[in-house]
Structure formats: structure tokens, C-alpha cells
């Protein structure tokens, strides 16, 4: 008659011992920081103007080679490089230089870009793949809508700002591999702007 009680007490003893070990392991395990990444966003301008030709970094040679198979532009130049460090998300706002050679310096272009929920996930081949929930790149560009005269009789432009940009949801790229995210037009009809994103573990 005492055997069931003995088994029950022994079971409780094992349960308590297991819980104690689990608690001890949890207590002794130090917290770990999230993996940090360097995120490099580069802006390429493609055109057929040889006078604006500018060598691109060797790291972007494969990206340019791919673009040349899709577009007929002869020249590519790197205009802007953004470098940010994050373990999850980025929000960036600033001026965008060299958006157009004809850009009026008194009416700057404002840019912003962001990415959210950076995760490291294995792909079907077991390689480390980085996935974003959302990536956005945008700019507010000045547009002259009309011209008018000021009090002195001087003709001055009336400028409004219009928003342009790219939003893409949930896409992946390989670590340390420059990846073309998308393209935008500039104020010149024979130019295109390409966004190239590179992400690698921070040292």
C-alpha cells in the first residue's frame, strides 16, 4: 500500500530536481548581445555621357556587369555611399548630393531611407541569408511649377517639393554581396539611379 506513495514522492523529487537544474542553468547563462551588421547603401548613376564617367569600386563590378546586361547605358558612376550599423532597424534622413548636375543648389534634395526587422535566416542551400521586413528609399525633389515676379520686378521660380521613392516588402540578400534593390529616374531623361545594398556582419 505504501508503494504508490513512494513512487509519487520519488516522481515529485525528480520533478523538483529537474526544475532546480533548469533554473540553475538559466541563472548561470549570461545574456548575449544581438548580432550587429554594417549596412552600406550606394547610389549609382547610369548614363551615356562619357564626360561624367567615374570609376566604380571593384566591389560593385559584378552589380555593374549585371546592369549592363539589362540596360544600354555605357557609363556608371558612384555618387553617394551611406554607411549605417544596426542589429535590427535603421531610420536615416539627410540631404542627397549630386542628385542631378542641373540641380539648383538653393533648392536641395532631401533623402530618407530605412529598413526594418533585419533577420539572419538560412536559405535552401544552408547559406546565411539576410532578410528585411521592409526597405524604403525616398527623396523630396524640388520642382519648378511656375515663375513670378517679386517686388523688385525680378522673375523668380515657384518651387514645390514632390516625393519619389521605392518601397519593397520582405526581400533577402546574401551576406557581403552587393545587391541591386531598385532604380529611380533623375531630372535628366537619359539617366537612371540605381540603389545597391550590401550587408555584412560587423567586426
pLDDT digits (tens, 9 = 90+) for 145-190: 788 877 777 887 788 888 889 999 988 899 899 999 999 988 788 8
Q: How far is CA 86 from CA 59, 130, 148, 158, 199, in A?
A: 21, 13, 47, 40, 10
pLDDT at 51 over 60: yes
Residue 182 belongs to domain spanning: 37-201
139 occurs within a structural domain: yes
Q: Can you tell me the mean pLDDT for 39-60?
A: 85
pTM of the model: 0.76
Who has greater pLDDT, 8 or 52? 52
- Look at residue 98 in the predicted model and tell me its pLDDT: 61
For 193-203, what is each residue's pLDDT tens digit?
A: 999 999 998 87
Residue 122: CB partners within 8 Å, gap ≥ 6? 128, 129
Alpha helices, H only, 46-104: 61-70
176 occurs within a structural domain: yes
- Look at residue 125 in the predicted model and tell me its pLDDT: 76
- Look at residue 29 in the predicted model and tell me its pLDDT: 65
Q: Is 113 helix (H, G, I), strand (E, B) or coil?
A: strand
Band of pLDDT at residue 9, cut at 50, 70 and 90 = low
170 occurs within a structural domain: yes
**Closest of 122, 83, 109 to residue 165, by C-alpha:** 109
Give the number of domains in the chain.
Answer: 1
Who has greater pLDDT, 6 or 30? 30
Amino acid at each position: 500500500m505504501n508503494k504508490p506513495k513512494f513512487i509519487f514522492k520519488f516522481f515529485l523529487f525528480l520533478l523538483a530536481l529537474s526544475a532546480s537544474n533548469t533554473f540553475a542553468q538559466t541563472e548561470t547563462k549570461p545574456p548575449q548581445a544581438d548580432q550587429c551588421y554594417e549596412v552600406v547603401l550606394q547610389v549609382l548613376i547610369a548614363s551615356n555621357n562619357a564626360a561624367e564617367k567615374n570609376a566604380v569600386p571593384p566591389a560593385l563590378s559584378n552589380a555593374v556587369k549585371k546592369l549592363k546586361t539589362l540596360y544600354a547605358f555605357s557609363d556608371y558612376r558612384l555618387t553617394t555611399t551611406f554607411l549605417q550599423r544596426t542589429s535590427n532597424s535603421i531610420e536615416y534622413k539627410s540631404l542627397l548630393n549630386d542628385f542631378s548636375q542641373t540641380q539648383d543648389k538653393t533648392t536641395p534634395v532631401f533623402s530618407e531611407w530605412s529598413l526594418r526587422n533585419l533577420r539572419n535566416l538560412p536559405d535552401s542551400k544552408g547559406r546565411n541569408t539576410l532578410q528585411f521586413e521592409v526597405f524604403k528609399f525616398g527623396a523630396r525633389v524640388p520642382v519648378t511649377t511656375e515663375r513670378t515676379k517679386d517686388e523688385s520686378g525680378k522673375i523668380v521660380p515657384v518651387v514645390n517639393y514632390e516625393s519619389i521613392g521605392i518601397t519593397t516588402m520582405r526581400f533577402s540578400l546574401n551576406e557581403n554581396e552587393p545587391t541591386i534593390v531598385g532604380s529611380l529616374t533623375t531630372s535628366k531623361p537619359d539617366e537612371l539611379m540605381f540603389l545597391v545594398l550590401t550587408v555584412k556582419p560587423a567586426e
